[in-house]
Amino acid sequence: MAQKILLFLCTGNYYRSRFAELLFNHQSSRSDLGWIAVSRGLGLELGGGNVGPISRATVEGLTERGITASKEYRYPLALERSDLTVASHIVALDGNEHLPLLKRKFSSWAERVEFWHVPDVDLARPSEALAQIDMNVRALIQRLSRRPAVISSHSDL
């Protein structure tokens, strides 16, 4: 059985979505969930202050949870239409921030996205934001473990 793809979205694919992706993959690898997470950014051009491939807060948050990820992290990746078409489930980390970006760049996909409410570092301390993502990821894993496989098509290709 092929793994289903869970797509996490945020603005810069540097902090929140990367944490959600790595946490989800770590948690789901401990069971036979059948899902793998990837993450992408809706506005990489807005992350001018980002240094290196991944946020230090993300790495620290994972380490605090006993998760050691690769020493060679990839750099942020921009969302492409193909990412949307292969995803079985899509989560944007902050509806207030990401819905306008999604509507501007991929308007017809907004109705397929689950929006969480985890603000960026300008509005919430990383410890608070990462704790919220952790809680949301665990709840999502619970939901996905009970959800039957659904094949969906989208005409906006």
In this structure, the chain runs to a length of 157
Q: Is residue 1 part of a domain?
A: no
pLDDT tens for the 157 residues of the chain, in order: 689 999 999 999 999 999 999 999 999 988 888 999 999 999 998 876 788 899 999 999 999 999 987 667 899 999 999 999 999 999 999 999 999 999 999 999 999 999 999 999 889 999 999 999 999 999 999 999 885 544 444 444 3
Is 82 in contact with 43 (CB distance < 8 Å)? no
Q: Is residue 43 part of a domain?
A: yes
Could you tell me the CATH number of the domain that includes residue 64? 3.40.50.2300
Q: In terms of residue numbers, what domain contains 112?
A: 8-146
Distance of CA 55 to the CA centre of its chain: 14
Identify the H or E element spanning 90.
Answer: strand 89-92
Whole-angstrom distance, CA of residue 123 vs CA of residue 130: 13
Ramachandran angles phi, psi of 78, nearest 5°: -80, 145
